[in-house]
Amino acid sequence: MSIYQQQTSLRGHSGAIYSLVATDDGKLLASGGKDGTRIWDVQSRKQISRPAPPGIRGMTTAIAWANRPDEPGELLFFGTVAGYLVIWRQVAGQQVFNEFWCRRLSQPSEITGLAFDAVSNRIAVCNWNALVQLWALPSSSDPQRIFSVCIANYIPKAIQFGVMRGNERELLIFGYNDGKIRTVTGNLAVDNASRPWEIGVRIGDATVDNRRTAVCIDDIDFGAVLYRLDDHQRVKTFHVPNEDKRPRQVRFVDDSKTIVIGSDHGVIYVFDRRTGIAIDKLTVKGMGWIQTIATVDCNGIPTIFGAKSGDGLGQNDIILWQKTAERLRSGAKVSEGILSGSILLALLAYAYYNREMLGEMIREKLANFN
């Protein structure tokens, strides 16, 4: 029996889909591709009205959500193939979005990565022309650029925020064809860029776990690779066939206990992070590139979204899978068993180390009884 079961499909896109991202609470899903950006209500499976015509600034290539305490609704960032960075803002208490800000970045080209850090309230962006920018998000005002730098002879394929280094969260920039990960801290990228962290593989994508202890990287030639963030040590490899040698998106799910990666042959692979075993394979009807994925714990249920990203597609559905109720219950029973066993061991240990005191108490009770 499969661990994840297909629940439904979200219909409306045509052509390839390049990016899928859900909000932290799993209520909204943003998707972007050849026909622009769309927003979905996950529970009703319906599309929310968008403030701009599809693809008005070129196809959407990267998406990120930003949820801030001082904002009444969600902020949606997306980048396009023509180099535009756009922000849509949700109207408070409504499923309505307005376009808040739009800027065509310097050195315009396809935006390849976006990442938001809630701690510092910053958004990071990179593009195909080796441009890396960091923006601050002041309350109720336009984004303010912190730095902008071009890295020579480098193609940033993904960007993520990593661990805290002093008072700053490090910024990780992943090179597409040279296997180099650049780490940037502080506000001046040129002065603070450290020596590259070299892993020696072609990088297709990267994602950081929810505790920011590890990063999972798509090794285009072999599969998903897990590294520790503190010491950059390789932990485990999860093999996935890749005949066409195409980049695949990789994500964590189920409280980061599971790793999910797309493929070039219509299968999404689901791996147990601890053992490295493929625990499920989610198949899409008809062969094709299903490189585009997103994950979220939706109302406590681990959820996976997938979409095709190949050429020559007509209507292109987003497919939603969720962990089955039986698996969720079995996981809860295991946790309960572990907890009960831990309590029993603690009681036995207490009785052993306090046996003399307990013996004296028993003898006193027996004397009073007699």
279-312 pLDDT, tens per residue?
999 998 876 899 999 999 988 899 999 999 988 8
For the chain, 370 residues long, the average pLDDT of each consecutive 10-residue run is 91 94 95 95 92 83 89 91 95 91 92 94 95 90 91 94 87 94 71 72 96 96 96 96 94 97 96 97 86 93 95 90 76 46 50 54 49
- Rg for the chain, CA atoms, rounded: 24
User: What pLDDT score does 190 carry?
Assistant: 43
**Number of Cα atoms under 13 Å in the Cβ half of residue 269:** 23
Q: Is residue 78 within 8 Å of 62, Cβ to Cβ?
A: yes
- Ordered alpha helix ranges (H), the chain: 189-192, 325-353, 355-369
Q: What is the DSSP letter of 339?
A: H
Distances, alpha carbon 143 to alpha carbons 74, 77, 103, 133, in Å: 15, 11, 10, 12
Q: Rounded to the nearest 5 degrees, what angle is found at the Cα of 117, between the Cα atoms of 116 and 118?
A: 115
Residue-wise DSSP of 240-296: ---TT-----EEEETTTTEEEE-BSSSEEEEEETTT--EEEEEEPSSS--B-EEEEE
Domain over 4-323 is classified CATH 1.20.58.220: no
- Indicate the domain borders of the chain: 4-323, 333-369
Q: Is residue 246 within 8 Å of 291, Cβ to Cβ?
A: yes
User: What pLDDT score does 298 carry?
Assistant: 87
